[in-house]
Structure 1
């Protein structure tokens, strides 16, 4: 899961980074309001954690601007001010949830996942299916037509991304970012991974599931 944290307290940010990176979350960080707004407009996140009191622009202003620019990413406001007026103001500007500092990290995690689940319920499914293809997200096992397919971690991540969005197309950029973040390897390594994935998921069967969308990316054809 990818989060944007806009928080001017380095201590709070450090605590959140330590906690969520241990859970394999990815966090982008801004210490002031204007930088946070720029990141929120330019990148795609599952949830935005937005402090109220910030230098440059406060959290309410950022929330308003994001919504006016058409950003629908769930926003969870963080504040040390436990007042009815602040809470109502946050919701009025388009926030989806509101947490008072100091907060319990487990509760914060639960609230983040609840917000993300509303937007991307497929990411929290324990089993993904596409035609005769089945992925168990807990055991990371893959089956097609009842036959078990052994994939390496990279192949599984690509297939899970395609299955989670099927039948929609997943761009090459989305896949690359999911695998390597902002440091993709040199050369067209992704093409090699797709080739290997096809040799395992498609070649032994009568119908190909993995479809190339020219100049865009890949998708799964679940109509078998």
Structure 2
């Protein structure tokens, strides 16, 4: 496996918002020895209060929570506090609709129960690495689209373009290559590192990005059959 930009969980503070005691114990038993700084909230309301403090590098949130469900927690975090802290949602449903709902409500990634702790840590590493790299990358501009990875803001023809973090990362990668093709494998490596999910989660993220661009009047994201995706300036 390729070397990560941080070899352990040191300096990564993670809030686990989960009511299942057994699952919480498993997460702590696996991540704490790796150096992660863990905190826990047993219900959605407490999770919201702690998450809003801005003290965490990543949130791990179950969809089904007492007090306040995980989707509401994530939505309030994005809309009320304006927080961009990465969120990995835990869900019991494997449906595409459930995954899209999690992403639309502000999650950056999701895990379907039951999941292996090895996969959990790989997802945490990938999401945190992506969030850190976005804060240090330079401004991107292409065909009326502008992205500032440092402030994690985007604009289309001078108007704000609101994107979730994974969609932002995908668009940044496509803009760097435009108008050339970026393969599916390259995009998966960009968002998942060396541990892509078994499911075709990339399709969901591409769908959300394409919809956001079309709603902004920029239907520039095109599929190159059996290869990958590209941005076409003349698309219309």
| Range of TM-score over shorter length | 0.5 to 0.7
Runs of 4+ with deviation above 6 angstroms: none
2: CA distance, partners of 1:44 / 1:79 = 24
Question: What corresponds to 1:118 in structure 2?
Answer: 130
Contact 2:91 2:113 in 1 (8 A): yes
Question: What corresponds to 1:13 in structure 2?
Answer: 24
- Give the secondary structure class of the aligned counterpart of 1:63: helix
Q: Which runs of 5+ in 1 are unaligned?
A: 123-224
Q: What is the TM-score when the length of structure 2 is the normalising length? A: 0.50
2: CA distance, partners of 1:15 / 1:71 = 28
How far 1:15 moved relative to its partner? Answer: 0.3
Cα deviation, 1:106-145, whole Å, max 9, x if unaligned, reads 11111111110112249xxxxxxxxxxxxxxxxxxxxxxx
Kindly report which structure 2 residues correspond to 1:1-224, keeping only aligned pairs within 5 A, or say none: 1-68=12-79, 69-121=81-133
1: CA distance, partners of 2:120 / 2:77 = 22
How far 1:43 moved relative to its partner? Answer: 3.6
Question: What corresponds to 2:3 in structure 1?
Answer: none
Cα deviation, 1:4-28, whole Å, max 9, x if unaligned, reads 0000100000000110001010111
How far 1:83 moved relative to its partner? Answer: 2.0
- Give the secondary structure class of the aligned counterpart of 1:19: helix
CA RMSD, Structure 1 to Structure 2 (Å): 1.6
Cα deviation, 1:85-113, whole Å, max 9, x if unaligned, reads 21111000011001101111111111111
Q: Which runs of 5+ in 2 are unaligned?
A: 1-11, 135-236
How far 1:46 moved relative to its partner? Answer: 1.1
- Give the secondary structure class of the aligned counterpart of 1:42: coil
Q: What is the TM-score when the length of structure 1 is the normalising length? A: 0.53
How far 1:77 moved relative to its partner? Answer: 0.3
Question: What corresponds to 1:202 in structure 2?
Answer: none
**Larger Rg over CA atoms:** 1
Number of residues paired by the alignment? 123
Question: What corresponds to 2:180 in structure 1?
Answer: none
